[in-house]
Amino acid sequence: MAITKVNPYHLQPGPFVRSEDEMIVHEHRRLLHGAINSEEYAERMGNYFSIFWNSKDKNPATVRFQYCQAMTGPKVYVKEIQVPNPKRKNVTKFEITGQEYEELGKVTQWRASILENGVEVAKYESFLWR
């Protein structure tokens, strides 16, 4: 197993993103698609992470995402997603949005890992991770 890359995206309040790169504009609009009032718009603000990973043996795995937020200092939060039947190439997505983002702030550092039978077999960290 290996994590090939992690794509972080920070959706912040403010005007629509303007860029020459169509993919950046598309990502921003995709995340806001369907929000029809200011409450729904605010609920979608936050950090989005797409974790791309490969599995050779296709055994069940757990994708773990650990992170710290601006208002909590060194406190580490953990989210996990079980993947019972992984394919050769996988994408697992995590969101830190809504009330969690509004009260605790943006993600300042993070670490993604894959566990197989409770044992870490792959990891990928942000530059600022401990």
> When comparing pLDDT for 19 and 74, which is higher?
74
Whether 77 maps to a domain, the answer reads yes
| Contact by Cβ (8 Å): 22, 76 | no
In a domain, 130, yes or no: no
- Within a domain: residue 39? yes
At residue 114 the predicted structure's pLDDT band, cuts being 50, 70 and 90, is very high
pLDDT greater than 80 at residue 91: yes
What backbone phi and psi angles, to 5 degrees, belong to 24? -65, -45
d(CA 39, CA 116): 39
Total of domains in the chain? 1
Q: What is the 3-state secondary structure (H, E, C) of the chain?
A: CEEEEEEEEEECCCCCCCCCCHHHHHHHHHHHCCCCCHHHHHHCCEEEEEEEEECCCCCCEEEEEEEEEHHHCCCCEEEEEEECCCCCEEEEEEEEEHHHHHHHCCEEEEEEEEEECCEEEEEEECCCCC
Counting Cα atoms < 13 Å in the Cβ hemisphere of 18 gives 2
- With cut-offs at 50, 70 and 90, classify the pLDDT of residue 4: very high
Residue pointed to by tokens 């870490």: 120
Please give the pLDDT value at position 100.
Answer: 94
Q: Is the dihedral of CA 13, 49, 40, 22 positive or negative?
A: positive
pTM check: above 0.85: yes
Query: Which range marks the domain in which residue 117 is found?
Result: 2-125
pLDDT given for residue 34 in this prediction = 83
Q: CATH number for the domain including 120? A: 2.60.40
Which one has a higher pLDDT value, 20 or 121? 121
Region 86-96 average pLDDT: 96
Instruction: Render pLDDT for 22-50 as a digit per residue (tens, 0 to 9).
Output: 877 777 788 878 888 888 878 889 999 99
pLDDT(109) > 80? yes
